[in-house]
Amino acid sequence: MKYLKSLIFAFKEIFIMFILQYAVLIACIVCLGKDRSIVIGTILVCAVEILYVIFKLRNGKPAIGKHNLFPYALMGIGITTSYNMLLFAMGLGNNVMVDMNIFLNILASGIVGPIFEEILFRYSFVNSLKKFNSQKMVIFISSLVFAICHTGITTCIYAFIIGMVNAYLYLKKKDILIPIVIHMSANIFVNILNSYNLYVLVIGIFLVILSTIIIRICKD
């Protein structure tokens, strides 16, 4: 019972933030209609996410190291490229671009979204789970919840993979910038992936292997 209470308490911020985001989107759809609400709703959700990040930073300083972030950016690009090429090869891929300005899309899903989600899931949720779980359980639970908070089976699987990688590296490196960079590079780069290409798949796998080797060699 004590474990269950601790787990529910750890979920608190995630529950509040997602209810708030959906409330904003629903209000926009009701007031503006589905088509007009896309841009306004995205801007308002970004505003909510930015306010949350500011609040968390004012009330605590996430651990930041002095790591070389370049290999982590390569890892994010490699993961999203490999995964999406495999989906396209199986006929399960789709162009992730939505009907909005490309710059707004990159701002929302490639910059603000990743920062918000990493602060919420890796910094806040992972640190809460650490108080009553082993490291392996922290990585698994946080990744599972992160996946469930996304829609669609293929997206959930992808989110689970990114969640596992980011939770592991955050716990190991103790630097919130690492999962943020991986998440941002993956979300930005995925916008240009729109069809299967064997060479692109090979490059994606190569980037994952190369970035892993660099990270292990550097051991910063």
In the predicted structure, residue 67 carries a pLDDT above the cut 90: no
Count of the separate structural domains present in the chain? 1
Q: Is position 184 within any domain?
A: yes
Q: Is position 175 within any domain?
A: yes
pLDDT, residue 52, reads 95
Q: Is position 5 within any domain?
A: no
Give the distance, in angstroms, between the CA of residue 135 and the centroid of all CA atoms in the same chain.
20
Q: How far, CA to CA in Å, does 39 sit from each of 14, 95, 96, 112, 169?
A: 24, 19, 16, 15, 34
**How confident is residue 166, by pLDDT bands cut at 50, 70 and 90?**
very high
**For 87-124, what is each residue's pLDDT tens digit?**
999 988 776 555 567 888 889 999 999 999 999 999 99
In the predicted structure, residue 86 carries a pLDDT above the cut 70: yes
Q: Is position 33 within any domain?
A: no
Place of tokens 């930015």: 50
pLDDT, residue 99, reads 55
Three-state SS string over 88-121 comes to HHCCCCCCCCCCCCHHHHHHHHHHHHHHHHHHHH
Q: Is position 152 within any domain?
A: yes
Q: Is position 131 within any domain?
A: yes
Place of tokens 């809460």: 128
**How far is 159 from 83, CA to CA, in rounded Å?**
11
Q: Is position 107 within any domain?
A: yes
Q: Is position 9 within any domain?
A: no
Q: Which domain holds residue 145?
A: 62-218
